Structure 1
Amino acid sequence: MKQNKAKKIILVLLAVICAAVLVYSLYQGLIIYIPQKQEQHRFSELQQIAEQENREEKDRTEPSQGDNGRPQNESSSTSAGEAGQQLHFDDIAKINSDFRGWLRIDDTIIDYPVVKSPESDPEYYLHRDFDKNYSFSGTPFIGAGADENSDAFVIYAHKMNNGSMFGTLDDYSHTDWAKQHADIEFDTPDEHRVYRVFAAVQTQVGGEDEFKYYEKTGKLSDKEYNAFVKELRDISVIDIDDCPANKKQILMLSTCSYHTENGRFVVAAYRI
């Protein structure tokens, strides 16, 4: 009798422990999942704001029809937002003056505003959203020592488990995929830009053979630039027979990588 009672108590305790673990796991999942959903929703709102501004710009600049049905001012018939055309971000910049451009890669979730904080706090947006509130996901930002007009610069973002931000950036570790998604768009308030991927690198921060790509930014001499491009190609994990023929601006996208402790994954592209 006592043994049966003891077994029942043990079973009840095990059930309670399992239930507590389940509740805790659900709680942990919710406190991560809900904020991430809210953060992605805010980025979607920013996308809609930018799209609305460009629709209005298109309507304002689209030529009117003449009496003969043909467009007047035909030279201005190309509207903003079409392929290769400058986009407008006045409304986005009004929300946050640290806005530097919009990063976009076709057929991926990467479609985000990019910011640049003062050099006194270059990682300000590591855990802040576009509205400067706390955010675990953060906002893609240009790193220290460079800006969007430098010879080379880095855009950093987290590798989120839900695939958001740069969560899928390491798809570029596969040559075929990289070739199919070779072009990266980065539209600044002043111009439409396209960059062509030519290398992807895995490295380890603090490792014996660390590739310190973040030190190769800013203004580079011709010698420094050529050595940097060569190093990128030599250690690239993908095989792409393409690189800048002369000195072209280099954009790097950087995120965490789990191939090793303190790992980083970097995609390098030159402006075309």
Structure 2
Amino acid sequence: MKKTKAKNIILVLLAVLCVAVLLYTLYQGLIIYIPQKQEQQRFEELRQIVEREREESSAPVQTKPTGDDTQPVYTEEENPAVYSDIVRINDDFRGWLRIEDTIIDYPVVKSSEDDPEYYLHRDYDKNYSFSGTPFIGAGADENSDAFVIYAHNMNNGTMFGTLDFYADKEWAEQHPYIHFDTANEDRVYRVFAAFQTTIGGENEFKYNERAGKLNDEEYTAFVKDIKEASVMFTGECPDKKTQIIMLSTCSYHAENGRFVVAAYRV
């Protein structure tokens, strides 16, 4: 009888422990899921702002009729800039990044060189954010010969969570273009390689240190090094010096791993 009672107590304790573990797991999931959901909702609001501005900028603007003309006059000369509202929200805005058939559709920012990773865990409104905001790294900007845009590799596939699709050459060939539009111009880049490296590893490829201004010799050497380090190479390299954009995120092939996609401006 005592053994049965003791066994029942053990079973109850185990059941309570299992319920406690389940509740804790659900709690942990919720405190991660809910903020990430809110963060992505904010990005969706920013996308809607941009979409509205695009529609307004493509529509003719009505001006007052002149003289005896009673018909309205339309002109596109005074149309608002597509990203004017986005810049007003945060003047660290440097461009909008898009890749077709992925969730990558985000504003890109750049902070000061004193704190280049400011947006690693801050949203576009500069509040704390686990997901952060894609940002241009140290030593370069959107007008440099080469620059890097960093973002997290989120488990839910957001941010740069789909960037490693470019490890597949067939997928890369079907999605050859990266769109990065600045406040002043729309830009298109052609993907030519993707590579992996490990920060602090024996054969680390310090691609981030090659960002910035490059002379012709440095540029040629950099393209060659990207090709040699690549896990995916399309077979096409820039045939002349043109701007290189690199998208960088964490990779789980190794501790402190990185996965990087390189593209040149066309």
The TM-score range, normalised by the shorter chain, is over 0.9
Kindly state the Cα deviation for residue 76 of structure 1 after the two structures are TM-superposed: 6.4
CA offsets 1:122-168 (integer angstroms, 9 cap, x no match) = 00000000000000000000000000000000000000000000011
Distance in 2, matches of 1:24 and 1:212, equals 40
Aligned AA (1:40)? Q
Question: Does 2:247 align with 1:229?
Answer: no
Match of 2:204 among 196, 199, 210: 210
Q: Is the 8 A contact 2:59 2:76 kept in 1?
A: no
Aligned AA (1:236)? S
Aligned AA (1:2)? K
Distance in 1, matches of 2:208 and 2:25, equals 37
Q: Which residue of 2 aligns with 1:84?
A: none
Distance in 1, matches of 2:19 and 2:93, equals 46
Question: Secondary structure of the equivalent of 1:137?
Answer: coil
Distance in 1, matches of 2:186 and 2:132, equals 25
Q: Is the 8 A contact 2:60 2:75 kept in 1?
A: no
Kindly state the Cα deviation for residue 60 of structure 1 after the two structures are TM-superposed: 3.0
Detail structure 1 runs of 4+ shifted over 3 Å in the superposition: 73-77
Aligned AA (1:13)? L
Q: CA RMSD in A?
A: 2.0
Identical aligned residues as a percent: 69
Distance in 2, matches of 1:259 and 1:171, equals 14
Distance in 2, matches of 1:134 and 1:76, equals 39
Question: Secondary structure of the equivalent of 1:33?
Answer: helix
Match of 1:199 among 168, 189, 193: 193
Q: Which residue of 1 aligns with 2:175?
A: 181
Where does structure 1 lack aligned partners over 5 or more consecutive residues?
Answer: 63-72, 81-86
Question: Secondary structure of the equivalent of 1:189?
Answer: coil
Kindly state the Cα deviation for residue 59 of structure 1 after the two structures are TM-superposed: 1.9
Distance in 1, matches of 2:23 and 2:152, equals 28
Match of 2:265 among 258, 268, 271: 271
Question: Does 2:4 align with 1:10?
Answer: no
The size of the alignment, in residue pairs, is 257
Distance in 2, matches of 1:185 and 1:75, equals 28
Question: Secondary structure of the equivalent of 1:237?
Answer: strand
Distance in 2, matches of 1:202 and 1:52, equals 38
Q: Which residue of 2 aligns with 1:69?
A: none
More strand by share: 2
Q: Which residue of 2 aligns with 1:67?
A: none
Aligned AA (1:169)? L
> Could you tell me the TM-score, scaled by structure 1's length?
0.91
